[in-house]
Amino acid sequence: MTVMEPFGARLRRAMDARGPLCVGIDPHASLLTEWGLNDDVAGLERFSRTVVEAVADRVAVLKPQSAFFERFGSRGLAVLERTVQEARAAGALVVMDAKRGDIGSTMAAYAEAFLHKDAPLFSDALTVSPYLGYGSLRPAVEQARESGAGLFVLALTSNPEGGEVQHAVRAGDGEGPGRNVGATILAHLAAENAGEEPLGSFGAVVGATLGDLSSYDLAINGPLLAPGVGAQGATPADLPRVFGAASGEVVPNVSRGVLRHGPDTGALRAASDRFAEEVRAALAVS
């Protein structure tokens, strides 16, 4: 059996070759309308295929948001399967934005659905939620390692509501004061990635809108998926200030900032290229 190269190594190579930009595929109803499409499966398919055709051969990562496909039922999931397969065939890595999180056999089933190499929805990485305890993610970690896939774990998210959980301070362990929850998740990921080269496969989701994060140890030897660039207010120029010494591992995510230029493929491509160049310049990526 051929073992796929680990996600971290594949991502590092894609970022070096194409730049570190991630473009979201978020076909929510308002964007379908802006594109002149109906809010139905045909509109969903046209939208998704257009984004893939426009940018999958030039960006490092595409990130479909599964909820916008799931709302159309089985036909929407069929579109999602084709979107993933076509994006990967064009050379982009696919991060499935599904934010799954559960325990035991249920978490294992989610992992099989998105991370097993023979699954119809197999993706290069999956977003997951650790808020049933980091240990609840173990089935997904094990499946990802087996398949050469990766995870992006919610750690310090860009939504303002996240702070009530992620900034909550855990009790001390007898060796000093307790860390907050976000810092604890980062520490778990650093342990998962220890010794991996050139980059670990277990990343964190850390919002680009959060400002100074110098109090956090972002050096997890893994990628940092950074939502919030574009419509949420962060710019590529903000990235070095937010991520500091870990900027070289940042994968900035842009969705509406690119997607609003559709349905013209040339305009989508130009918008993606502009963001990619701004990110390269901000992070001093050659």
Q: Catalytic residue positions? A: 99
Q: How far is CA 132 from CA 12, 128, 135, 218, 236, in A?
A: 30, 11, 8, 22, 33
Q: Cα(87)–Cα(64) distance, rounded to whole angstroms?
A: 10
Residue type, 25: I
Contact 25, 63 (CB under 8 A): yes
Q: Cα(176)–Cα(174) distance, rounded to whole angstroms?
A: 6
Contact 69, 62 (CB under 8 A): no
| Helices 41-55 & 265-282 angle (0-180, nearest 10) | 50
Contact 222, 250 (CB under 8 A): no
Q: Cα(74)–Cα(65) distance, rounded to whole angstroms?
A: 16
Q: Which single residue is written with the structure tokens 């850390």?
A: 206
